[in-house]
A = this chain, B = another copy of it.
Amino acid sequence: MQPDLKDKLEAFPLFAAHAQQWEPELASVCIKRFAKDEIVAHHGDSAAMLWLVVSGWVSLQRVTPDGKEISVGLCTQGDLFGEAGLFPHANYPYNAIIIHNDTELALIPAERMRALVQHHPQIAQFVMQDLGGRIAHAQLKLEHMSSLSAPQRLGCFLLRLCQNHKQGTQLLSIPVEKHIVASYLGMKPETLSRSFQHLMQTGVRVKGAEVEVGDVQALREFVCGSCGESGMCETEEQLTTGTV
């Protein structure tokens, strides 16, 4: 086993919440470091592995027959991908591409993960809750395509990166190329640039690869007034719901 494996994994609820059940499986888990542009999963390949992002960024991308590249997911620290591996005979529905140098991923063999889920109802419950949260997030993104303007969609993305910081100033590190963020948010790169300009009025400033959110509360007021999740969203101060 890698010497620091256990320490690193314990930072993540997937492992920490069920440390005892994971213990005999850790020998089959490893952490690897990847360089920008490496492809760790190919669309259509048999799903033999699940990944947890330990640090860095991964884009889940699909290519249309007419050559458009579309990001259907942006994963960073704590995010799990390759969830097709939960099901026997399933294939990856996207390419998973490293989009930031020195991205560290924990590799979990799909077969071991399926065995854990089968033998430990608590882990099955945890995984279901994670899947349920993703459905809710995808449904919210779909709603936002109709209900929010492009600057508001960008604002929501920034608020999610602010995570538990509910007010004041936040400096976010987003070392991801603009065209990937734009694709993930369902807009053209030039619309993303205009949206950043628009958000200056709420105190958002782009500083190289970092973005300063000058006033989290002001940004929330600009974004959340048009969102059906308003008052029940994880970016807000008062949580009133469970994960889904």
Q: What separation, in Å, do the CA atoms of A129 and B132 have in the docked complex?
A: 12
- Counting contact residues on chain A (CB < 8 A from B), the size range is 35 or more
Q: Does A243 contact B (CB under 8 A)?
A: yes
Q: Does A23 contact B (CB under 8 A)?
A: no
Q: Give A153-207 interface residues, CB cut-off 8 Å to B.
A: 183, 186
Q: What separation, in Å, do the CA atoms of A139 and B71 have in the docked complex?
A: 10
Given contacts A86-B132, A124-B124, A132-B86, contact A70 B242 (CB under 8 A): no
Number of copies: 2
- Across the interface, A44 reaches (CB within 8 A) one of B66, B73, B90, B232, namely B232
Q: What separation, in Å, do the CA atoms of A243 and B83 have in the docked complex?
A: 11
Q: What separation, in Å, do the CA atoms of A73 and B242 have in the docked complex?
A: 20
A69 CB → nearest B CB, Å: 9
Q: Does A72 contact B (CB under 8 A)?
A: yes
Q: Does A93 contact B (CB under 8 A)?
A: yes
In the bound complex, residues from chain B placing their C-beta under 8 Å from that of A72 are 139, 142-143
In the bound complex, residues from chain B placing their C-beta under 8 Å from that of A87 are 125, 128-129, 132, 242-244
Judging by beta carbons under 8 Å apart, are B44 and A228 in contact? no
Stretch at the interface among A1-9, A27-35, A96-104, A114-122: A114-122
Interface residues of A (CB under 8 A from B): 43-44, 47, 62-66, 68, 70, 72-73, 83-84, 86-91, 93-94, 117-119, 121, 124-125, 127-129, 131-132, 134-136, 138-143, 145-147, 183, 186, 224-230, 232, 240-244
Would you give 6 A-B contacts (Cβ < 8 Å), ordered by A?
Answer: A63-B228, A86-B132, A87-B125, A87-B129, A93-B136, A135-B138
